[in-house]
Structure formats: structure tokens, C-alpha cells
Amino acid sequence: MPQLNLVDSINLALRQELTRDESVILLGEDVGLNGGVFRLTDGLQKEFGEARVRDTPLSEGGIMGTAVGLAHAGMKAVPEIQFEGFLGPAYDQLVNQAARCRTRNRGGMTCPLTVRVPVGGGIHAPELHSDSPEAVYVHTPGLKVVMASRPKAAKGLLASAIRDPDPVVFFEPKRVYRSFKEDVPDDDYTIEIGQAEVLETGDDLTIITWGASVFRCLEAADALPDHISAEVIDLQSLWPIDVETIVKSVSRTGRAVVVHEAPKTCGLGAEISALIQEHCFLNLEAPVQRVTGFDVTMPYYKLENDYLPDAARIGKALRETAAY
């Protein structure tokens, strides 16, 4: 079983889906000859040809519109948007066309496309290259939204997304691309969309997080005093949310901290806090805390690390919640 990073695991998943299903087609800026801006599609055009791994003009609206058309024509389109900030020009096609397809046609037609999007900060990128807009797309009925933090999960989730009959936004935390390796099975497997994973078990509080923040949370949990143990949940599917796993854990521990990179106000942490209040109110021993980015535009690289939740800021919230 090879040890792969996130880049290599996503490349492997794309290669296996292109091999398994001839209706799968990749498209985007530089995904072919150059292998993608982060080289995630490296070698795929040479192996599968220009008809199935297509370079496109620099037009995100055009990429998404073409992907919607391909999906309506019976293909399984996998468009790549190079950075999350450029989802804006593709918003109309994604939200007003793809997401509404099943409802508009009363179930008679679906729109099977998987939008791959690098997301989040931490790589010292310029403006429009480091945002965390997942809440915008979670708030859009008709879209599924996932964000794998680890290579093994990424491979299985991407396979599930491509085989899904409806549009899926597949966010890729770019800070993790080459920072972490683990064993990834070569064989074909899927991970159910809507299924969280408990990475560490604990009895005193529950941490709920996703994306690159998973690693900061694990670091913070490991630094807790010996008499405090934290359960760490990688949400991985942002919509649908695995409410059962969250409720089961928080009902047992009585305390919860939600951690994400996106701004606090109307972030996904607010929705999860409300879910916990609705389902676990009588079990709560402390208010739910949120450790998030701030309600400002992601700053340039000199202040980037002050914006992103780090292990110290997360650890402070964990100790406060445990002591409440």
C-alpha cells in the first residue's frame, strides 16, 4: 500500500475514475498539458487523451457552463477551478443551473458534475487565492459539499462525488496538498458522502472541524493536560452533515468546540452550534465555543498566520470549555 500525499491520492482517484467510466471527462485551465496549477492532473491527458482531459480558455463561467452542458448530455464532468476566489465568475452556472437541475425537472434530469476547488489559506498566496467560502455553497440547496483533509479519505470521497448523480463541490485544502502522507489503498473504494470520521476518541469534550484545521486541532488536543481528553471529529462532508456522529459524541462529552478557517459570522460553525443546541441541550455542560477566522478579508501573507486558527488559540478554547 503506497504512502501518498493529498495531491497524489486525488490524481490516483481521477485516473481510476477515468479508467472505470468512459463518460468521465476533466476540464479546466491548464489541467491537460501542464497537469493543473498544483499538478493534480499531471500525466492524465497523456494517458487518456485531449478529448477526456481538456484544457479550456481562462473563463470560469465558461468552464462551469460547459460542465453543466456535458452533464446534461450524459457525461460526468469534473471541472477544476484553480482557486476558490474564482468560483465567483462560475457562481451563476453552478448555483442557478447545476444546483437547481433536479428540482427544476421534478427529478426527471440530474446534473452529475464534481467541481474540484483548492481552498483555504496558509500558502502565502495573493488576494482571491486564500478564502474559505464553504458556507456559501452549503447554504445552496441542490449542492453537496465535501472537504477531505487526508489522502485516504480524499480518494474515497472523490470517487463517491464523481459517481453521484447530482452536483458536488469537492474542496481541497491546499495547505495540506504536500504536507502529510498516509497509506492509501490502490484498490477501488468509496467513502459515503454525509459520513464524518472520528479521528481521536475522548471523554471530556468534542472538537468538530474539517480541512486544514484538522491538523491544528489534533495538535491542540495532544497538548491538553493528561486529565482532559478530547474527541476529534473530521466532518469531511459539509453537506449533508453527519448530525448523528456529532450528536452522539457531544451528548456523551457534554462540551463542544467548532473550529474552521472561514469568518465567524454565518460560518458553518454557527449552523453546527445550532444543531448541537437543538439536539444536545439537556446534555450540555458548557456553551459551544467557535474558534474561527475573523470577519475580515483574508489578509496577505504577513498577517495570514494571525488570521488562521492555530493550535495555541484552539488549545485556549479547549481548556476554557473543559473548565467551564
Catalytic residue numbers, as ranges:
129
Cell numbers representing residue 314 in the block: 484552539
Centre a 10 Å sphere on the Cβ of residue 57 and count the other Cβ atoms it contains. Answer: 8
User: Residue 223: CB partners within 8 Å, gap ≥ 6?
Assistant: 311, 315
As a whole number of angstroms, the distance between CA 159 and CA 56 comes to: 23
Strands, E assignment, the chain: 3-4, 24-28, 53-55, 76-80, 114-119, 144-147, 168-173, 182-183, 197-200, 205-209, 230-234, 237-239, 256-263, 289-293
Strands 182-183, 3-4: pairing is antiparallel
Centre a 10 Å sphere on the Cβ of residue 100 and count the other Cβ atoms it contains. Answer: 16
In three-state secondary structure terms, 40 is coil
Sign of CA dihedral 28, 30, 31, 32: positive
Amino acid in position 150: R
As a whole number of angstroms, the distance between CA 60 and CA 18 comes to: 22
What are the beta bridge partners of residue 54?
27
In three-state secondary structure terms, 45 is helix
Strands 24-28, 53-55: pairing is parallel
